[in-house]
Structure 1
Amino acid sequence: MDLGLQGRRAIVTASSAGLGYACAAQLAAAGASVVINGRDERALAEAAERLRRETDADVQAVAGEVAEPAVQQALVAAAGEVDILVNNNGGPPFRDFREVDREALLKGVTANMATPIELIQRVIDGMIERRFGRIVNITSFSVKMPIAGLDLSSGARAGLTGFLAGVARDVAHDNVTINFMMPGYFATDRLRSLHAREAEGRGVPEETVAIEGASRIPAGRFGDPDEFGAACAFLCSQHAGYITGQSLLIDGGAYPGIL
């Protein structure tokens, strides 16, 4: 399927590895020019080179903390006329809610709610003017199925979803869509770090924790980042103009509800 992304210009934040990288890779493979971002300059440069080699796409890298206004400005400047924005950022670490002080609370809300909104504010008017825009916010399945210890992450991402619900409807007539992707357990460094933490606490091998975790997912496995990236690319495509304000749950069937 031709996604109609040839020549489109995309920004994907937190994309030197994991799900962000997977989204950038699928967009690049579909013909988009991609600006990627990450805090580790060396890892980011390596990711950019890998994308260029594997997709032959125009890939630029902007290193830095995406919450900083100067980095946001640099991302938009590198992309030019932004057609696609994929908001991604790491979530706060596991922490009992009693340990979430004001500083941690504000940091989590800034990273996972305020920053995506700020980036959208920077690009959405240009999308409206050109009558094409695709915005995808990577949140978490914990928005629908909260996980104890990830309360700050769940709350900030749910706040982002609620904030943008009305915005999505306001710009839909201009062929600008705003959607959300809620990943479950995917085979990423973040998941491996969670397994390591649990294994240490229980005094068991990490492999044991991983096997147990996969067994609780109806699909019987963890997600492949590439399949997440493919779903992201579709939401950014010319075929997805009638999908907006939606949260796509990609979790191998782990969430047991019907809504």
Structure 2
Amino acid sequence: MDLGISGRTAIICASSRGLGRSCAIALAEAGCDVVINGRDEKALRATADLIRSTTGVSVTEVIADVSTREGQEALLAACPTPDILVNNNGGPPRKDYTELDRASMIEGVIQNMVTPIELIQAVAGHMCDQGFGRIVNITSLSVRMPIEGLDLSSGARAGLTAFLAGVSRQIAGKGVTINNLLPGKMDTDRLKGGFERAASQSGQSVDAIRAAQAAEIPAGRFGTADEFGKTCAFLCSAHAGYLTGQNILLDGGLFPSAF
């Protein structure tokens, strides 16, 4: 399917690896020029080289921590008027709520709530003026279903979701959409790290932990970065202009709900 966004420009935050990387690749495959971002120069360069060699689009690399004001300024200097913004960022590490202090809670809220809001504030005006814009926020299944040890990440992402529920409807009439992508158990390095942690705590093998967790998912498997990226690209497409203010679960049916 032609997504109708060839020639558009997209900023994809935290896109040197993982789900952000897959979104950048999918948007580049749709013909978008992309601005990609990460803190690991080697990983960022490898992603940029892959996208250039396989798609031929323009790729701009911005080495920065998007949570910082300096990082945001660097991204916006590289692309001050994007047509598409994909908000993504690392979350706080797993930690029991009793171990969280004020500083770590503030940092988590900045990472997963304040940062995407600040970037939306910076780009939404231009999108509204031109009559087209697509904003996708990568949040988490934990917004809908608690995950042990991710209370801070869940709370910050849920706060972002609530904040943008009204904003998305405020600007929908100007051709700008805001949607959230909620990954469940995706086959990424972060998930593998969780297997290793669980294995060390339980004495079971990593393979046994992996198989047990996959069996809990109605689809019988973990999600792939590729299908996540292509879902993101569709939300950014010309065909998704009537889809806004939504939370799209990619979880293989793990969250049991009729609505």
TM over 0.5, shorter chain: yes
Q: Tell me which residue corresponds to 1:37.
A: 37
Kindly provide the CA deviation profile for residues 135-191 of structure 1, in whole angstroms up to 9, marking residues without a partner as x.
Answer: 000000110111121100110000000001111000000000000000000110110
Unaligned runs of 5+ residues in structure 2 are none
How far the C-alpha of 1:79 sits from its partner, in A, is 2.1
* Pairing 1:49–2:43 present: no
Paired residue type of 2:77:
A
| 1:146 counterpart = 2:178 | no
Q: CA deviation at 1:91?
A: 1.4
List, as ranges, runs of 4+ consecutive aligned residues in structure 1 with deviation greater than 4 Å: none
Amino acid aligned to 1:245 = G
Spell out, residue by residue over 1:78-112, the C-alpha distance to the aligned partner (whole angstroms, 9 max, x if none).
12420000001111111111001101100100000
Q: Letter of the 2:108 partner, please give it.
A: G
Alpha-carbon deviation of 1:5? 0.9
Provide the rounded CA distance (Å) in 1 between the counterparts of 2:232 and 2:91. 19
Gaps of 5+ in 1: none
| SS of equivalent to 1:61 | strand
On the 8 A contact 2:26/2:229 being kept in 1, the answer is yes
Instruction: Work out whether residues 14 and 36 of structure 1, in 8 Å CA contact, stay in contact via their aligned partners in 2.
Output: yes
Q: 1:96 & 1:31 partners in 2: Cα distance?
A: 43
**Residue pair 2:64, 2:74 contacting (<8 A) in 1 also:** no
Letter in 2 for 1:85: L
Question: Is 1:168 the counterpart of 2:168 in the alignment?
Answer: yes
Taking only the aligned residue pairs, the percentage that are identical comes to 56
Aligned equivalent of 2:113: 113
Aligned letter for 2:59?
V
In 2: Cα distance, 1:258 partner to 1:38 partner: 37
TM (normalized to structure 1)? 0.98
How many angstroms apart in 2 are the aligned matches of 1:31 and 1:121?
26
1:17 lines up with 2:17 in the alignment = yes
| 1:9–1:80 contact (8 Å) kept in structure 2 | no
Q: Which residue of 2 aligns with 1:62?
A: 62
Letter aligned with residue 239 of structure 1? H
Q: The residue matched to 2:158 in structure 1 has which SS?
A: helix
Q: Kindly state the Cα deviation for residue 215 of structure 1 after the two structures are TM-superposed.
A: 0.8
State the Cα distance separating 1:68 from its structure 2 match: 1.3
Determine whether 1:228 maps to 2:228.
yes
Work out the number of aligned pairs and report it. 259
Instruction: Report the AA paired with residue 138 of structure 1.
Output: I
Asked if the contact 2:80–2:123 (Cα under 8 Å) also holds between the matched residues in 1, the reply is: no
- Partners of 1:236 and 1:7 lie apart in 2 by 13
| Separation of aligned partners in 2, 1:11 and 1:153 | 23
1:27 aligns with 2:27: yes
Please state whether the residue corresponding to 1:37 is helix, strand or coil: strand
Is 1:194 equivalent to 2:185 in the alignment?
Answer: no
Name the counterpart of 1:123.
123
AA of the residue aligned to 1:231: T
